[in-house]
Structure 1
Amino acid sequence: MKLYFAPETCSLSPHIVLRELELPFELIKVNNKTKITARGEDFWQINPKGYVAALQLDNGQILTEGSAIVQYLADLKPEALLAPQNGTWERVRLQEWLSFISSEIHCGMSPLFNRDIPEGVKDMFKSKLYKRFDFIELTLAEHDYLLGDSFSIADAYLFTVLGWVKFFAIDLSPWISIMKYRDRIQPRPSVVAALQAEALA
């Protein structure tokens, strides 16, 4: 498998999951501005959507969208317990979290990267984002991870997007449980290895 990634983006999530599962893969960097890969490929030809992550399977198929990629990967090695079994209520809860992170946290932060948006508008986006943090805080005040007591693919995704707060001067200290959550995940070997590999790339 080949994972197309760009540093400091949502592609870190499937990267962490690949390392959690100890699956063999090749990491290929994409320049987000030029859309040219480190191999000189036109990324638009690989993923017509133009953004990472993209996972090329051994049969040549390209899978995109982080939530789909991490579920696919978790199901390759179900014994690792990074996702509940398909068809169970617990799996639906996982999908609920993945959808929430994607639509409310990931998409909630994305406009903040736009330098042309006035600060007043950005403050409106941040205010909504803070309410979502309040909701996550309630869950993490009762459990170490989003689904309970064990790390899942949803945690890989949330950890990834929470890492973006540094770009917007967002202070997470009012959300104590979220801060502790990040501190729990940061030293995981998969996270350390993924961050190091992306920095070296």
Structure 2
Amino acid sequence: MKLYYSSVTCALSPLIALLESGAPHEVVDVNLKTKTLDDGTDYRTISPFGFVPLLELDDGRRLGEGVAIIQYIADRAPEKNLAPANETFERYELQGRLNFIATDLVKNYDLLFSSVANDEVKQAAVRALKQHYAWIDGILSEQPFFYGNEFTIADAYLFTVTGWAKLVNLDLSGFRHLHDYLNRLADRPAVAAALEREQKKN
């Protein structure tokens, strides 16, 4: 498998998932400013909108959208328990957590990254994020991971998106369980390896 990737994006979560799964893979860096690969290839010939992440399978098929990609990776390595089995209630619960991150968290971070959103809009986004993280902190006070007692792709995604807090100066220090959780995740070998690669490319 081939993961088209750029630092400080949602592409970190499928990279973590790939490393956790142990699946053979190649990471291809994308310059999002120029929409090109290191060899000069126009990335829009691969991904029409120039978005990352994008997963290319060994047979040439391509899968976009991070939430879909991380589920595909999890299902290719069921023995790693990165997601509950398909067609179970637990799988739909996990998908609910993934969609929560993709919508409620990401949309508010997008407002904080925006160069056109005014202060009132940004303050509303901060309040929404604090409310969401209070809910997450409550979950983490009762269990070690965002969905249950084992690491799943929901943790890879939450870790990735929450890492943006420092980039927008969002203070999450009041959420003790979240803080401990992030530190534990950062110590996982797959997460540490993904972060090391991310930092080298920044």
CA distance in 1, matches of 2:180, 2:27: 30
Q: Are 2:49 and 1:49 equivalent residues in the alignment? A: yes
Tell me by how many angstroms 1:118 deviates.
2.0
Tell me by how many angstroms 1:72 deviates.
0.3
**Which residue pairs with 1:119 in the alignment?**
119
Q: Which runs of structure 1 show a deviation greater than 6 angstroms over 4 or more consecutive aligned residues? A: none
The TM-score normalised by the length of structure 2 is: 0.96
Tell whether the 8 Å contact from 2:137 to 2:178 is kept in structure 1 after alignment. Answer: yes
CA distance in 2, matches of 1:106, 1:64: 17
User: Which one-letter code corresponds to 1:26 in the other structure?
Assistant: E
The TM-score normalised by the length of structure 1 is: 0.96
Give runs of aligned pairs for residues 152-191 of structure 1, distance below 5 A.
Answer: 152-191=152-191
User: Which one-letter code corresponds to 2:164 in the other structure?
Assistant: W
Tell me by how many angstroms 1:171 deviates.
1.2
Unaligned runs of 5+ residues in structure 2 are: none
CA distance in 2, matches of 1:39, 1:177: 44
CA distance in 1, matches of 2:40, 2:64: 20
CA distance in 2, matches of 1:199, 1:133: 25
Q: Deviations over 1:110-166 (max 9, x none)?
A: 121112322222111111111111111111111110121110000000000000001
**Which residue pairs with 1:93 in the alignment?**
93
User: Which one-letter code corresponds to 2:132 in the other structure?
Assistant: R
SS in 1 for 2:4: strand
Q: Percent identity?
A: 43
**Which residue pairs with 1:142 in the alignment?**
142
What is the root-mean-square deviation in Å for CA atoms of aligned residues? 1.1
Q: Are 2:194 and 1:194 equivalent residues in the alignment? A: yes
**Which residue pairs with 1:2 in the alignment?**
2
Unaligned runs of 5+ residues in structure 1 are: none
CA distance in 1, matches of 2:125, 2:80: 37
